[in-house]
Amino acid sequence: MPQQDKQPISPDMMIGILKATMPFQVVSEPLLRRIAAIGWKTTFRAGDTLYEAGGPADDLFIVVAGKIDHELQPGVHARRPMKTLVEGDVFGWAALLEKVPNRLAKAVCTEDALVIRINGEELLKVLESDPNAGDVVMSRFATMITRDYTVPDLIAQLRGIHRKLHARDPQGMNVTLYRVSRWLKSPKPYLMLIGLSIFFGGWYLFVEVLRLPRFREMPGITTVVAEWMSPNPTYGLSIYTGEYYQHILVSIWRVTQAFFLATALGVPLGLFLGWSRKFKDLVFPVFETLRPIPILAWVPIAIVMFVATESAVIFLTFLASFFATALNTMLGVESIDESYVRAAYCLGSNERQVFLHVIVPGSLPFIFTGLQISVGVAWFSLVAAEMVSGQYGLGYVINTSYTTVKYPTIIIGMITLGAVGYVTSAMVRVAGDYMMQWRLRELAMGAN
């Protein structure tokens, strides 16, 4: 490689270049500045060889201008060994591989080029200072090596920053944890706290300070909190009473049963509704006729169909959840680009293979969106069901507290219901993120 002098580059310009480069697009501003501090620019003439296969793998390169031919040696087993690199492309990533101290390719300028160089060892040290972000950057390098350089076998050699990256799943929980850390550093949680403070502050102001006529029968926040936290509650329900937790557990168990039943039946139904035109023409009219019927309208039917009160409650909770799951799953199947299906058939796949490997994975984002809606609707339906025929549960608490004029207990039941419903929706969302790492990469990393 020709000897080139290190040329200084302004930090802001360097940061702008890094932000436009795929592996570094998700890195925070402070970490970008530390990476920028270890980089420098170098110019090459057309015909210059940047490095030969077998040479020392020390620096990483980013193309700023010009074109460079990058040819991987046969032993790497790349499906497409030759690649012409242009502005924004990254090469020289052998500097980040374990057990590969030498270059795997030959890089030659086809026209005058300006590149950024970053020492691999120094870059790894910077990334180690923020392990979660470092893992995401290395995951993006893994994606780039697989997608752009067609050598997936090498991603197992990428050096782990915080956790060892698995060759087949280079992200694992790293991206999820990174998203959580980014969320905590963003304004979102603090805006959420401000919003809650405004809500509870307004409640206190309207009910206890201004005493507006519209809120004259509503208990104040201080009354509710005092009752909720009292070892000897006036109305018999607080965090110190076992009955309170019994109601919560009964409601959770009912929703769990209804939700899993709705998922087990709704997802397959939605897949077949979206996959088969004949099946949709046969079933969808009935589905759409039943779907708008309110849950309370099903109460007499549920009582007639199910002798046991508990079965009736679960059935009523299941209904709305089932319709939400099935409808979103069907929309997910219909949203899949037809070209993927045609391509799979052209490659020799049969209907079963297309269904399992194209239709099901392609509809997963809609399915999990539907499941988040489904679990929320399940809680909504549960309250109606428990108000009618339940003996325990948060809906039962709210209904009986109204009939016995225990207004603070109504508020306690409502807030508890909202909190538990929020947690269950979050659990479904986390499960979806964990099961769809490919989708998570697109959303969290901004992959092209």
Q: Find the mean pLDDT for residues 161-182.
A: 51
Q: 122 near 38, Cβ under 8 Å?
A: yes
The pLDDT of residue 248 is above 90: yes
Residue 438 confidence (pLDDT): 52
Q: Find the mean pLDDT for residues 39-45.
A: 90
The pLDDT of residue 422 is above 60: yes
Residue 146 CA, distance from chain mean position: 22
The pLDDT of residue 5 is above 60: no
Tell me the pLDDT tens digit for each residue of 325-339: 999 999 999 988 888
pLDDT band at residue 407, thresholds of 50, 70 and 90? very high
CA distances from 382 to 132, 135, 255, 343, 402 (A): 40, 42, 7, 44, 17
Residue 171 confidence (pLDDT): 46
Percent of the chain at pLDDT exceeding 70: 88
pLDDT band at residue 179, thresholds of 50, 70 and 90? low
49 forms beta bridges with 108
Tell me the pLDDT tens digit for each residue of 130-157: 877 787 788 788 778 877 787 766 666 6
The pLDDT of residue 353 is above 90: no
The pLDDT of residue 194 is above 60: yes
Does an H or E element contain 251, and which? helix 242-275
Q: Which residues of 146-179 are buried (b: 16+ CB within 10 A; e: fewer)?
A: bebbebbebbbbbbebbeebeeeebbbebbbbbb
Q: Which of 89, 87, 140, 81 is nearest to 105 (CA)?
A: 81
pLDDT band at residue 283, thresholds of 50, 70 and 90? very high
What is the spatial distance between Cα 401 and Cα 386, in angstroms, rounded to a whole number? 13
The pLDDT of residue 390 is above 70: no
The pLDDT of residue 437 is above 60: no
Counting every residue, how long is the chain? 448
Neighbours of 94 (CB within 10 A): 25
Which among 94-108, 236-250, 383-397 has the top mean pLDDT?
A: 236-250
Q: What DSSP letter does each residue of 136-153 carry, written as one string? A: HHHHHHHHHHHHTS--GG
Three-class DSSP category at 70: strand
The pLDDT of residue 39 is above 70: yes
Tell me the pLDDT tens digit for each residue of 86-112: 998 999 988 888 767 788 899 999 999
Strand positions, DSSP E, 196-351: none
pLDDT, averaged across the chain: 84
Backbone dihedral angles phi then psi of residue 2, each to the nearest 5 degrees: -60, 145
The pLDDT of residue 252 is above 60: yes
Of 6-10, 276-280, 332-336, the one with minimum mean pLDDT is 6-10
The pLDDT of residue 28 is above 90: no
Q: 116 or 26: whose pLDDT is higher?
A: 116
Q: 133 or 36: whose pLDDT is higher?
A: 36
List of domains in the chain? 11-170 (2.60.120.10), 229-445 (1.10.3720.10)
Residue 96 confidence (pLDDT): 86
* The residue to which tokens 């012409």 are assigned: 84
